C-alpha cells in the first residue's frame, strides 16, 4: 500500500438501511409536512404571505398567476396612452420624435395641419393617425423619454396580456386616447397655451408691444 493513502472503511449497512423502507417513510414525512403546510396556507383565510413580499417570507413559493398578481411598481411601463389637452384634443404635436427613437419601429404617425380658422393652426400640428403596434413594442420607454410635450405615456399600469387575435394589439389614436393613467387622469401636464387661449401669458403684436 502506497504511503499517504487513507483507508476509509466501508460503512456497515443494517437490514433497515438495506430495505430502504425506513428512509422512504422519512422522506415522505418531509414531503407531507410541506404538503399540509401548503394546504393550510392555501385554504381560504389561511396564513398566506403578502404577494408583495412573497420572495422574502417563509412558506409557499408559488404565485397562483393569473388569479394572483404581484402588484407592479408605479413606474412600471404598461401599455401606452396618449394624453389630452384641456379641450380633449390629443396633446401630441406629431413631431415623430417617438417614432424616430423607437428601436422596434412600431409607432406610425401621420401628421396633419389644423384647418384654417382653428386657433392652433400655425402653432401646432396634430396626428391625423397615430398607431402603435403593441405586439412589436419591447416596452423600453424610449418613446416617452423622447416626447417633448408629455403626449405619450406608459403609466397606465396595464400589462398587455395575450389575446389570440393580432389585430387587437394594433392601438390606434382613438384607443390610445381612451386609456387613462393608473390614477384615472387623461390630461397632459404640459398643456402649452397658445395666443387666443384664456390662460395664455405671452405678448402678441395685437397687444401693441
Chain CA centroid to CA 34, Å: 34
The residue from 95, 107, 137, 179 that contacts another protein (CB under 8 A) is: 95
Residue number with CB closer to another protein (23 or 128): 128
Q: How far is the CB of 135 from another protein (least distance, A)?
A: 18
C-alpha distances (whole Å) from 106 to each of 82, 91, 141, 156, 172 are 15, 20, 12, 19, 12
Compare residues 60 and 99 and give the one whose CB is closer to ligand SF4: 99
Q: Tell me: cis bond preceding 66? Omega within 30 of 0 counts.
A: yes
User: How many Cβ atoms are within 10 Å of 85's Cβ, its own excluded?
Assistant: 22
Q: Using the rule CB under 6 A, is 39 a contact of ligand SF4?
A: no
Closest contact distance (angstroms) between CB of 124 and another protein is: 6
DSSP state of 164: S
Q: Is 93 in the site for another protein (CB under 8 A)?
A: yes
Contacted by 143, from another protein, ligand SF4, none: CB < 5 to 8 Å by type: ligand SF4
* Binding mask of the shown chain, residues 146 to 165, with x at each position contacting another protein by CB under 8 A: --xx----------------
* DSSP percent split of the chain into helix, strand, coil, nearest 5: 25, 15, 60
Within 10 Å of residue 175's Cβ, how many Cβ atoms? 18
> What grid cell was written down for 181?
393613467
Closest CA to 148 of 84, 90, 91, 88: 91
Of the residues 79, 98, 176, 179, which one makes contact with ligand SF4 according to CB under 6 A:
98
CB 126 within 8 Å of CB 93:
yes
Interacting span for another protein (CB under 8 A) from 26-34, 111-119, 135-143, 166-174: 111-119
Give the footprint of another protein on this chain (CB under 8 A).
Answer: 93-97, 100, 105, 111-113, 121-125, 148-149, 195, 201-205, 209
- Name the site residues for ligand SF4 (rule: CB under 6 A): 92-98, 101-104, 106-107, 109, 132, 137-143, 146-147, 149, 151-152
Amino acid at each position: 500500500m502506497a504511503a499517504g493513502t487513507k483507508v476509509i472503511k466501508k460503512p456497515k449497512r443494517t437490514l433497515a438501511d438495506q430495505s430502504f423502507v425506513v428512509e422512504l417513510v422519512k422522506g415522505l414525512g418531509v414531503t407531507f409536512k410541506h404538503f399540509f403546510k401548503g394546504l393550510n396556507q392555501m385554504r381560504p383565510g389561511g396564513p398566506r404571505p403578502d404577494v408583495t413580499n412573497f420572495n422574502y417570507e417563509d412558506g409557499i413559493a408559488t404565485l397562483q398567476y393569473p388569479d394572483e398578481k404581484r402588484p407592479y411598481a408605479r413606474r412600471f411601463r404598461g401599455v401606452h396612452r396618449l394624453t389630452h389637452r384641456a379641450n380633449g384634443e390629443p396633446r401630441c404635436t406629431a413631431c415623430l420624435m417617438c417614432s424616430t427613437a423607437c428601436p422596434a419601429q412600431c409607432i406610425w404617425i401621420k401628421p396633419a395641419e389644423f384647418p384654417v380658422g382653428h386657433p392652433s393652426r400655425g402653432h401646432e400640428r396634430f396626428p391625423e393617425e397615430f398607431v402603435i403596434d403593441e405586439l412589436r413594442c419591447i416596452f423600453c420607454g424610449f418613446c416617452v423619454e423622447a416626447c417633448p410635450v408629455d403626449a405619450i405615456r406608459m403609466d397606465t399600469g396595464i400589462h398587455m396580456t395575450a389575446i389570440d387575435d393580432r389585430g387587437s394589439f394594433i392601438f390606434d389614436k382613438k384607443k390610445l386616447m381612451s386609456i387613462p393613467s393608473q390614477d384615472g387622469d387623461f390630461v397632459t401636464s404640459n398643456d402649452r397655451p397658445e395666443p387666443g387661449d384664456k390662460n395664455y401669458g405671452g405678448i402678441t403684436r395685437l397687444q401693441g408691444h
